[in-house]
Amino acid sequence: MRLSRDVAVVGGGMTRFHHKIHAERTSRELFVEAALEAKGSVDNGFDLKEVEALFVGNFSSDAFEGQSHTAALMADWLGITPVAASRIEDACASSGVAVNVAAMAIASGAYDVVMVGGVEKMRGLTTEGVTDTLAMAADAIYEVGAGFTFPGLYAALASAHFAEYGSNWEQLAAITIKNHHNGSLNPKAHFQREVMDIALRQGEREQLTFGDELEFLKSSLNPYVAYPLRLFDCCPISDGASVLILAAGERAQEFTDSPVYIRGIGQASDAMALHDRESLTSLRATRLASAQAYKIAGVQANDIAVADVHDCFTIAELLATEDLGFFSKGDGGRAAVEGRTGLDGEVSVNPDGGLKAKGHPVGATGAAMAYEMFKQLRGEAERHQVAGAELGLAHNVGASGATVSVQVYGR
Amino acid sequence: MRLSRDVAVVGGGMTRFHHKIHAERTSRELFVEAALEAKGSVDNGFDLKEVEALFVGNFSSDAFEGQSHTAALMADWLGITPVAASRIEDACASSGVAVNVAAMAIASGAYDVVMVGGVEKMRGLTTEGVTDTLAMAADAIYEVGAGFTFPGLYAALASAHFAEYGSNWEQLAAITIKNHHNGSLNPKAHFQREVMDIALRQGEREQLTFGDELEFLKSSLNPYVAYPLRLFDCCPISDGASVLILAAGERAQEFTDSPVYIRGIGQASDAMALHDRESLTSLRATRLASAQAYKIAGVQANDIAVADVHDCFTIAELLATEDLGFFSKGDGGRAAVEGRTGLDGEVSVNPDGGLKAKGHPVGATGAAMAYEMFKQLRGEAERHQVAGAELGLAHNVGASGATVSVQVYGR
């Protein structure tokens, strides 16, 4: 696997991910906001007429808004028809895959300038409605029919990992605490408060004081959702959109003096249902997709300085940091406790707060990861900047791991 | 627009499109049947392990089956994980667009062998349920909210064309009669009876005899669905799947002695809602997508010998034959009446029966068009073979024309 042409990111934008501030807005409005920020981010002025094709990752505007044919609608509302407009759906990896497809579209020679993004407007439904809708990304017959929704599926992965490697929930809590810290530094994040800050306020309301964050996370104020996962192990339900502008490498300098390049892409699938997997303690698709991306980029896992990984649940970040090769199998939890994935760690994981704190409007997540790498590698991530980051990675998972996309980004 | 590498079709398969015979089957079972036929069609034996990526066009398994994440599921059930698996949704053009994306994936250098197909299992819902689900492909706020469903949208296009060009319903009836004739020659078609045959049987049941097909089509046995469109102006609701195996041009001979090449691709978008279009009597996206495809292929409209065009309603075929440049604007209806689009006409349009008679499981339609071109150009279309066809075209429309994909095929 290789790409015939270099592909550069020359612009990026995203809405804040949130559950309330977008209450009166539709997905088309969210997408246009992100796209106009992306347009404005291009250094030398940018005319949207340059865009030749649009790829939109979206999980299920069908179920969330009674609206499909999402990509053409976004092109229409952004005023960029007649560009070729295509929607990609690969569950929660929809826009991660869309970035890969967009990169291939440029590498193919078909287009020089492509817009790619993602959008999801979820909060029109109740929490129960969202949970049921998301469950469509699992096997409707063999998993959902048996009562599984995603908290349960990831809880099974956590239990298996605990049993096989002796990892534990306190390690997951370290991921929660780190990602809330990072989110507190990111004005686009859904949650912008440290766990300690939340603990103090909640404690006040409950006439309690807590010695530390872990005490709070262990208390009944952080109830179990699906054992061993508690509320703070789960990402929130968010609305939002994210957009990138890509250009053929040889034309990147027309648009910006500081392009970021997609050095490698990878993607893999796996059995839909957990009962058909070879392992419950490792996502094979993550291993294979990242191996492809590393190979194309000519890098190794330990070359990566900063990574956005798919932490829909804290256990997913633990698994990702192992399966991407950042740490040996079984060491991911310890590495999190030891701060090795913090903003100043050996590999900064989810510096933007991750799905846990930044939020997870599912179709928008993969492109938002790409947006974060674009900002990090240009040194524009402000308070959550990882110092001197040269190589970044975005890792987007569909459902419980039946789809994984990866990109490696570099200057 | 160009493609950096040649792309060949080396295998193809499809289920019969039908409303009853698939009643007990899910989309995953339909897809696997089509994929195994495609595998078997490759001359020199074919190991599915050769497949590196899968693209699946699907409109809304979400709404039809409570199942999204469709591409990974198909990879899983076909036993081809860990291939990269991506779902494309562009309304009724989902798998036409998927063919374009798959061609770009090969041209990009990322993959040499790609499977692309489409699937839709619609008949789990009632006719009313299907109509409402399909309407999600129109503008949910401004069209559906005002009462529009697709028969009404296409009826508006028909009325506008009648008014502007003096075309008429009898011309649409000629398209119905032709496509039923072609369908009667295609064992994969949903309807395999001539209109005359249906008329005689219906007449018998009703104690009536009809002098000719037109009398039948004008009678109350062919009621209005949305004026001026009657029941026989509308395609049926079908279940089905279609699959192609594509390979990099330089490797095609490894797989078959008679590959068919994708000579050109094109795609365009347009305003979602009819009220925002520049014209109601022409689909701009068809004009632009076909112009791109012709340019890449280095051909002109009148070089095309055989074409599958998107006749979800008879008026759509009339519009397509004009907008693709086969006939001058306003001449499409007359051309149909004069037999110029018949199996032995100057351009054979919908030799497989088209959506009207072959059926329209929406996500499967674009890839089924590609399958038909593969068969036609290899001379394997049996009773509906167009003699000596050298260049073919597939034209797939999303919704009322907000998405159009085109491919030009040649030997």
DSSP string covering A172-228, please? HHHHHHHHHHHHTT-TT-S--S-HHHHHHHHHHHTT---SSHHHHHHSTTS-EEETT
Distance from CA of B69 to the nearest CA of A (A): 5
Beta bridge partners of B241: B119
Question: B307 near B392, Cβ under 8 Å?
Answer: yes
Question: B352 near B186, Cβ under 8 Å?
Answer: yes
Cβ separation of B86 and A267 shorter than 8 Å? yes
Residues 116-155 on B with a CB inside 8 Å of A are: 136-141, 144
Residues 267-306 on B with a CB inside 8 Å of A are: 267-273, 276, 284-285, 288-289
Buried b (16+ CB within 10 A) or exposed e, B317-353: bbbbbbbbbbbeeebbbbbbbeebbbbebebbbbbbb
Question: B118 near B363, Cβ under 8 Å?
Answer: yes
Distance from CA of B72 to the nearest CA of A (A): 6
pLDDT tens digits, one per residue of B291-339: 999 999 999 999 999 999 999 999 999 999 999 999 999 999 999 999 9
Tell me how far the alpha carbon of residue A122 is from its chain's centroid.
Answer: 16
pLDDT band (50, 70, 90) for residue B209: low
pLDDT score of A208: 55
pLDDT tens digits, one per residue of B391-411: 999 999 999 999 999 999 999
Residues on chain A touching B403 (C-beta within 8 angstroms): 69, 71-72, 85
Residues 6+ apart with CB under 8 A from A6: A248, A249, A250, A252, A261
pLDDT tens digits, one per residue of B82-139: 999 999 999 999 999 999 999 999 999 999 999 999 999 999 999 999 999 999 999 9
Q: At what angle do helices B70-78 and B27-41 cross, to 10 degrees?
A: 60
Q: Residue B225 to residues A7, B232, B234: CA-CA distances in angstroms?
A: 49, 9, 8
pLDDT band (50, 70, 90) for residue B164: very high
- Whether pLDDT at B204 is above 70: no
Tokens of residue B268, six digits: 């365009």
Cβ separation of B97 and A86 shorter than 8 Å? yes
Cβ separation of B138 and A84 shorter than 8 Å? no
Cβ separation of B4 and A97 shorter than 8 Å? no
Tell me how far the alpha carbon of residue A99 is from its chain's centroid.
Answer: 12
How crowded is residue B136: how many other Cβ atoms within 10 Å of its Cβ?
Answer: 24
What ipTM did this prediction achieve?
Answer: 0.97
A18 catalytic? Reply is: no
A22 catalytic? Reply is: no
CB pairs under 8 A between A and B: 232
Tokens of residue A344, six digits: 């100043």
* Domains of chain A with bracketed CATH: 7-125+236-410 (3.40.47.10)
Alpha-carbon distance of A214 to A205, in angstroms, equals: 18
Mean confidence (pLDDT) of chain B: 96
Cβ separation of A88 and B83 shorter than 8 Å? no
The residue of chain A nearest to residue B132, with distances taken between CA atoms, is A66
The residue of chain B nearest to residue A74, with distances taken between CA atoms, is B272
Structure-model confidence comparison of residues A132 and B207, the more confident one = A132
At which residue do the structure tokens 């497809």 appear? A101
Cβ separation of B105 and A110 shorter than 8 Å? no
Residues 46-65 on A with a CB inside 8 Å of B are: 52-54, 58-60, 62-63, 65
Q: Which of A19, A180, A181, A360 is catalytic?
A: A360
- 3-state SS, residue B292: helix
At which residue do the structure tokens 């990566």 appear? A304
pLDDT tens digits, one per residue of B168-189: 999 999 999 999 999 999 999 9
Tokens of residue A158, six digits: 């956590």
Residue segments in chain A with a per-residue pLDDT below the cut of 50: none
Q: Which of A92, A234, A235, A312 is catalytic?
A: A92
Tokens of residue A410, six digits: 């570099």
Cβ separation of B269 and A83 shorter than 8 Å? yes
Taking alpha carbons only, the member of A405, A269, A283, A266 closest to residue B81 is A269
Q: Residue B75 to residues A14, B117, B311, B342: CA-CA distances in angstroms?
A: 32, 11, 30, 38
Q: For chain B, how many residues are written?
A: 411
* Sign, Cα dihedral of B177, B182, B186, B188: negative
How crowded is residue A190: how many other Cβ atoms within 10 Å of its Cβ?
Answer: 26
Taking alpha carbons only, the member of B89, B102, B94, B88 closest to residue B38 is B102
pLDDT band (50, 70, 90) for residue B2: confident
Question: A195 near A24, Cβ under 8 Å?
Answer: no
Beta bridge partners of B394: B308, B407
Sort A205 into a burial class: Cβ within 10 Å, 0-12 / 13-18 / 19+: exposed
Tokens of residue B10, six digits: 């080396």
Residues 6+ apart with CB under 8 A from A307: A324, A326, A347, A348, A349, A350, A392, A393, A394, A395
Question: A165 near A303, Cβ under 8 Å?
Answer: no
Residues 6+ apart with CB under 8 A from A145: none
Taking alpha carbons only, the member of A319, A327, A368, A367 closest to residue A345 is A327
Sort A338 into a burial class: Cβ within 10 Å, 0-12 / 13-18 / 19+: middle
Distance from CA of A175 to the nearest CA of B (A): 28
- 3-state SS, residue B344: coil
pLDDT score of B259: 97
Taking alpha carbons only, the member of A264, A60, A301, A272 closest to residue A153 is A272
Task: Give the start-end residues of each E strand in B270-402.
Answer: 306-308, 348-349, 391-398
